[in-house]
């Protein structure tokens, strides 16, 4: 009987090691599966825009969005927040999900600013490539990059601007709400209307957080974010205005 029990235990031990070995490969697959989801959604988005505007612009446009999202991703990791890899959705852009919530408005604003900062660098690099090569598609990509990042700076949740201004003043939402309404009426874009709908509950959420000290930010920090925020708006708006008047390329 003892011998039979030992044989049974040895088989169980072998089965356990076999199962653990398989779980190791499963964990590796799940880890890389996250990246596969990112790249699969990215390639889908490239294909959609390539069908509409050609492969060169489609690839460049999606890469600009990728650079923007990586700005959020890298900044979040730098401040110690666990976030997902970017997921791309055609005609909507891309997003990352935060598995950890920001501890205060400064952390939230820092992560939010990472996207437009790196995204603006990408757009200006496209403008520099146009100056070096004279190829018009670089100019079109630069204009698109300026526009994407500038739109995201509207001070309205869930856009980046709505999160950045939490470290400046929530009163700036009073500017963001009519701006979003005007944009929705002018372009009648369902994505903008969806953003408006998603942003309405945030007003109540922000009001609740204001009673917890979440937005208690030193004046010097508020001024720093204000300079960064309005500086980005001036740079991006200036870039769009400059390109708009060049050669009649962007109409």
Does 228 fall in a domain?
yes
| Residue-level pLDDT at 189 | 67
For residue 152, give Cα distances in angstroms to 132, 156, 206, 229.
28, 9, 19, 11
Does 212 fall in a domain?
yes
Does 251 fall in a domain?
no
What pTM was estimated for this model as a whole? 0.77
Q: Which two tokens stand for residue 174?
A: 């009073």
Contacts of 199 (CB under 8 A, 6+ apart): 156, 157, 158, 162, 177, 180
Does 7 fall in a domain?
no
Number of domains into which the chain is organized = 1
Please provide the DSSP assignment of the chain as one string: -HHHHHHHHHHHHHHHHHHHHHHHHHHHHHHHHHHHHHHHHHHHHHHHHHHHH-HHHHHHHHHHHHHHHHHHHHHHHHTT--BPPPEEETTTEEE--BSS--SSHHHHHHHHHHHHHHHHHHHHHHHHHHHHH--HHHHHHHHHHHHHHHHTTSSSTTSHHHHHGGGT-GGGHHHHHHHHHHHHHHH--HHHHHHHHHHHHHHHHHHHHTTTTTT---HHHHHHHHHHHHHHHHHHHHHHHHHHTSTT---
Does 209 fall in a domain?
yes
| Residue-level pLDDT at 184 | 73
Does 1 fall in a domain?
no
pLDDT by residue for the chain (251 residues), tens only, comes to 433 433 333 433 344 333 334 444 434 433 444 556 676 776 777 777 777 778 888 888 889 999 999 999 999 999 888 887 777 777 666 777 777 788 888 999 999 999 999 999 999 999 999 999 988 889 999 999 999 999 999 998 888 999 999 899 888 887 887 887 787 777 666 677 777 777 777 776 776 766 677 888 899 999 999 999 999 999 999 999 988 877 554 44
Q: Residue 71: which domain range?
A: 18-244
| Residue-level pLDDT at 14 | 40
| Residue-level pLDDT at 32 | 46
Does 94 fall in a domain?
yes
| Residue-level pLDDT at 42 | 67
Does 37 fall in a domain?
yes
């Amino acid at each position: 009987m003892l011998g039979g029990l030992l044989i049974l235990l040895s088989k169980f031990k072998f089965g356990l090691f076999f199962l653990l070995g398989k779980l190791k490969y499963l964990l590796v697959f799940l880890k890389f599966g996250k990246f596969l989801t990112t790249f699969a959604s990215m390639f889908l988005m490239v294909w959609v825009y390539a069908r509409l505007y050609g492969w060169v612009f489609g690839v460049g446009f999606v890469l600009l969005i990728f650079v923007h999202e990586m700005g959020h991703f890298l900044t979040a990791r730098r401040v110690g927040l666990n976030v997902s890899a970017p997921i791309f959705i055609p005609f909507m852009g891309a997003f990352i999900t935060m598995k950890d919530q920001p501890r205060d408005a400064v952390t939230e604003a820092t992560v939010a600013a990472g996207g437009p900062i790196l995204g603006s660098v990408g757009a200006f690099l496209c403008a520099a490539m146009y100056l070096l090569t004279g190829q018009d598609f670089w100019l079109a990509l630069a204009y698109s990059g300026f526009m994407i990042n500038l739109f995201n700076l509207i001070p309205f949740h869930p856009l980046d601007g709505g999160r950045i201004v939490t470290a400046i003043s929530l009163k700036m939402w009073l500017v963001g709400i009519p701006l979003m309404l005007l944009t929705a009426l002018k372009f009648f874009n369902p994505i903008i209307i969806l953003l408006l709908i998603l942003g309405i509950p945030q007003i109540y959420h922000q009001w609740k957080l204001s009673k917890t000290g979440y937005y208690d930010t030193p004046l010097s920090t508020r001024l720093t974010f204000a300079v960064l925020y309005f500086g980005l708006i001036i740079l991006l708006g200036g870039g769009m205005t400059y390109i708009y008047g060049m050669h009649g390329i962007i109409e």
